[in-house]
């Protein structure tokens, strides 16, 4: 499947800092737009419907699956999450760069559909640091933290399926790495040919 913009997929175990990195990228770069997923989980804290997620019932999610409305979906930590076709179609068609912040199962599905998608995996610098970040976040009970740590071990084993890996040890360094990947992708001949078709034409490049 071809599209004018670039598609970036960012996956990471919970606590590796994926959301903060993506949020900082969006603030720095107005050409990148975030895809808003659907989920069956309930909103947390200040989350608003349509901003962080489209919050839907299990029934509504089933209906969307049956209507083939998702590009990908997966079960994560006993809830379901999916990227709807509607969430990315218009943004991609307009030539915007779209970023999907999704789990590794979704990332692999996206790569199978959009072979040009750039899949980025964020790793914590160590298991000790991941656990201490989850503890410091103060969102989860010790049982849930243990479950997240077990899941994280399975998730990081998938890193070989990704195009890029960022080790989030120092936030600023990791953000620089993420920006570098975005910029390098934009400078690929195929991406430049699409984005700067007028210049290519003016230079008589076939
Ligand atoms: P949370 O409930 O903490 O917001 O998200 C839990 C996990 O689900 C995170 O790893 C998040 O990236 C992932 N996730 C969010 N949206 C999607 C989606 O549309 N598809 C998939 N496959 N995973 C998602």
> CATH topology for 7-195?
Rossmann fold (3.40.50)
Q: What is the pLDDT of residue 204?
A: 97
Ligand 1 pocket member 6 (CB < 6 A): no
Q: Report the alpha-carbon distance of residue 155 to residue 104 in Å, rounded.
A: 7
Q: What is the pLDDT of residue 154?
A: 94
Q: What is the pLDDT of residue 200?
A: 97
Q: What is the pLDDT of residue 44?
A: 87
* Domain chopping of the chain, boundaries: 7-195
Size (the chain), residues: 206
Q: What is the pLDDT of residue 94?
A: 82
Q: What is the pLDDT of residue 17?
A: 93
Q: What is the pLDDT of residue 159?
A: 96
Q: What is the pLDDT of residue 194?
A: 86
Predicted model pTM: 0.94
Q: Give the residue, out of 79, 81, 111, with the most ligand 1 atoms within 8 A of its beta carbon, to mutate for a pocket test.
A: 81
How many CB atoms sit inside 10 A of residue 30's CB?
Answer: 8
CA angle at residue 118 from 96 to 38, to 5 degrees?
Answer: 65
Q: With a cut of 50, list the residues of the chain below it in pLDDT.
A: none
pLDDT digits (tens, 9 = 90+) for 119-165: 999 999 999 999 999 999 888 899 989 999 999 999 999 999 999 99
Ligand 1 pocket member 118 (CB < 6 A): no
> Which residues does residue 98 pair with via DSSP β-bridges, in sequence order?
7, 33
- The ligand 1 atom nearest the CA atom of 35: 19
What's the CA-to-centroid distance between 140 and ligand 1, angstroms? 16
Q: What is the pLDDT of residue 2?
A: 61
């Amino acid at each position: 499947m071809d599209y004018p913009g670039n598609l970036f997929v960012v996956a990471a175990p919970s606590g590796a800092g994926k959301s903060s990195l993506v949020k900082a990228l969006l603030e720095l770069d107005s050409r990148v737009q975030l895809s808003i997923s659907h989920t069956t989980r309930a909103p947390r804290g200040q989350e608003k419907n349509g901003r962080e997620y489209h919050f839907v019932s299990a029934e509504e999610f089933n209906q969307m699956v049956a209507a083939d409305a998702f590009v990908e979906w997966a079960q994560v930590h006993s809830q379901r999450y999916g990227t709807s076709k509607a969430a990315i179609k218009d943004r991609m068609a307009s030539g915007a760069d779209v970023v999907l912040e999704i789990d590794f199962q979704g990332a692999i599905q996206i790569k199978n559909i959009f072979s040009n998608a750039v899949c980025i995996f964020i790793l914590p610098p160590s298991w000790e640091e991941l656990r201490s970040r989850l503890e410091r976040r103060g969102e989860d009970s010790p049982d849930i933290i243990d479950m997240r740590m077990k899941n994280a071990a399975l998730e990081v084993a998938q890193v070989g399926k990704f195009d890029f890996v960022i080790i989030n040890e120092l936030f600023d360094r990791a953000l620089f790495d993420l920006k570098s990947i975005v910029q390098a992708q934009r400078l690929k001949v195929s991406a430049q040919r699409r984005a700067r078709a007028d210049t290519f034409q003016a230079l008589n490049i076939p």
